[in-house]
Structure formats: C-alpha cells, structure tokens
C-alpha cells in the first residue's frame, strides 16, 4: 500500500508541474515506477552519484554530490516529441556563410 501511494504521489507531482524538487525517493520505488512506466532506470554507483528514471515524457534524478542533492530528487517533464525549440538567431558581427 505504501509503495502504491508513493507512486501515485509521484505521478501527481509530475503532472502538476513541469519541474519540481522532492524529498529523496527510495531507489526501489524509483525503479518500480520506471518499470511500470516502461522507462530506463540507472542505479547509483560506479561513476554515478545519482540514480533515476527516464521515460518518454519524464525524468527523475535522485541523489548527487552535495549534501543537499543527496537528500532530494528532481522530477521534470520532457517536451513532447512534436514540440520544436525556437531557432536561435545568429550573433551579429559573426562570419557570414
């Protein structure tokens, strides 16, 4: 029951904001959420100070190097595949093609 409530809370937090910081989420819960949503999970260890999940429309990153990072998670949503970033105009005074 606790795990289902956490997963539901995580899903609600993701839908409520495009990016949010949350308390540290247990790696097992992140892995379960990732598996349920057909994402790619990466564990902490080796060369990574973080663990998290990447799905088609969201990102969860937990942990980090600093004490503050080690106690929190970042939850963000990806732009939909059809969304195009605006083109950046070239700097003035640069070389012309």
97 domain residue, yes or no = no
50-54: strand order across its sheet? 19-23, 72-77, 58-63, 50-54, 40-42
Is 36 among the domain residues?
Answer: yes
Closest CA to 61 of 47, 45, 46, 44: 44
Q: Is residue 4 a part of any domain in this protein?
A: no
- Reading the block at residue 13, the tokens are 């937090």
Residue 93 lies in a domain: no
**For residue 63, what pLDDT is reported?**
92
Q: In 10 A of CB 63, how many CB atoms?
A: 19
Is 12 among the domain residues?
Answer: no
pLDDT in 10s for each residue of the chain, 97 residues: 555 555 545 554 544 445 667 788 899 999 999 999 999 999 998 888 999 999 988 899 999 988 888 889 998 886 666 656 566 666 665 555 5
**β partners of residue 45:** 48
Contact 8, 2 (CB under 8 A): no
CA dist 81 and 70 (Å) reads 31
> How many independent structural domains does the chain possess?
1
Q: What is d(CA 7, CA 10) in angstroms, rounded to the nearest whole number?
A: 5
Residue 22 forms part of a structural domain: yes
């Amino acid at each position: 029951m606790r795990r289902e409530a956490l997963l539901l809370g995580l899903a609600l937090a993701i839908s409520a904001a495009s990016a949010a910081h949350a308390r540290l989420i247990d790696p097992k819960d992140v892995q379960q959420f990732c598996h349920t949503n057909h994402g790619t999970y990466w564990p902490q260890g080796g060369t990574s100070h973080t663990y998290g999940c990447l799905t088609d429309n969201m990102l969860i990153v937990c942990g980090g190097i600093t004490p503050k990072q080690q106690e929190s998670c970042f939850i963000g949503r990806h732009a939909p595949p059809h969304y195009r970033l605006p083109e950046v105009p070239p700097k003035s005074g640069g070389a012309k093609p």
